[in-house]
Amino acid sequence: MKARNVDVVIVGGGMVGLTLACALKDTDLNVVIIERSESEARLSLGRDCRVSAIVAGTVDMLHGIGVWSQMEAQTQAIAAMRIWDDQRFGSIRFEAEEIERDALGYLVENSLLTHALLDVLHDARNIEWRCPAALDDVHWKASHVEVKLDDGSLLHTPLIVGADGGNSWLRSQAGIQVWSHRFGQRGIVATVRPQFNHRGIAYQRFLPTGPLAMLPMSGGLCSIVWSADDNEADRLMALDDDAFKEALQLAFGPQLGRIEEVGERAAFPLRSQLAKHMVRPRLALIGDAAHQVHPLAGLGVNLGIRDAMALAQELADARRFKEDIGSMDVLERMRRNRLPDVLAVMGSMEGFHHLFTSKIPGIPLLRGAGMRIVGNAGALKSLLMRRSTGLSLPLPKQIS
């Protein structure tokens, strides 16, 4: 079969891969997205139990590529965040007004974001969506990549992008190893209905075994992300709904009154992971294929979307100046842009995890003092907030 030439092949049609395609839709690059199957939402109280906290800087990017308007009405603004230490009286509160924004971010069901991205791509003439489809083989040549699909069709491309998740097939085929750390914990997710309205406030309580987040959803519901040691997570998952509801109430406290209803639960192992090479000649890894972080701050998908936007801008610039888009000169610029942000987030999440689960005497007292200092830090606190919400990062809000 004769090979067809395309400009970019994206392996993985999840939120990050689709964001890259959306960011390239107004360029003259011909893009093919390869996705094994369309994922179905796992419902909990009728809502997708997998959610993402999309921070303010990421919202600006999604707005810039025409996606945010497709979904904004179905999201929940996060107006404030309250964090407190279970073992001491240390606490901290972040308000959107402190960074002159209406919201710190928005809680979005993953399936909602995926559908919005697909809707934007629907009429893009330069984007081809192939699903269900999978790669059968891939070979890197000096001038291009040979891609063979499971239906026997062949593609030649100057650049292939891995957006196929933490267990990336493409990364494995390229022989790229990872640094990986298993936390010995699982994250339990579910939708719950509290007695009182959350008023757009996200709560996070640090327990001795890990953080419990109560995140605001539209309709007065909340999404929980409960990180617990493996044995404790197994115990919690084995409880019936009433017993789990009681355990959740005890762990979270009375801030939202009684937990009146708990939907179906799911659990996933927690790990951090970093590919030893984010780019290679004619290959770029983005999102979880390149890095995974502890969900403590919900920044994983935000990092991936930042990757996609940085790569899209480099590809658009390279095409404008007639550079080889798969060359290391182009891809290295993207890596230099992204690596400091990725390493900073990974390092801070690892640090927070160890800080709040440490059993060293005196650490809880230091945590409480540190939280009070940051809470009263004024300009420093605002600077940290702008950094964590992505507003101060050197990234494009739309591809020009």
Q: What is the CATH number of the domain that holds 25?
A: 3.50.50.60
Whether residue 312 has pLDDT greater than 90: yes
pLDDT for the residue numbered 348: 80
Whether residue 356 has pLDDT greater than 80: no
Residue 104 in domain: yes
Query: What is the value of pTM for the model shown?
Result: 0.94
Average pLDDT over every residue of 188-214? 93
pLDDT digits (tens, 9 = 90+) for 363-382: 666 666 565 665 566 677 78
Contact of 290 with 275, CB cutoff 8 Å: yes
- Quick one: the chain helix, strand, coil %, rounded to 5? 35, 30, 30
pLDDT for the residue numbered 294: 81
Residue 393 in domain: no
Average pLDDT over every residue of 102-113? 96
Residue 185 in domain: no
State what percent of residues in the chain have pLDDT above 70.
90
Ranges 182-186, 192-196, 355-359, most confident: 192-196
H helix count then E strand count, the chain:
10, 24
75-114 burial, b for 16+ CB within 10 Å, e for fewer?
Answer: bbbbbbbbbbbbebebebebebeebebebbbbbbbbbbbb
Residue 169 in domain: yes
Residue 326 in domain: yes
pLDDT for the residue numbered 84: 86
Average pLDDT over every residue of 178-202? 95
pLDDT for the residue numbered 381: 77
Residue 117 in domain: yes
Residue 249 in domain: no
pLDDT for the residue numbered 388: 87
Q: How confident is the prediction for the chain on average, in pLDDT? A: 92
Range of the domain at 89: 4-179+271-388
Whether residue 65 has pLDDT greater than 90: yes
Q: How many domains does the structure of the chain reveal?
A: 1
pLDDT for the residue numbered 382: 83
pLDDT digits (tens, 9 = 90+) for 198-207: 999 999 998 8
State what percent of residues in the chain have pLDDT above 90.
80
Residue 60 in domain: yes
208/263: higher pLDDT? 263
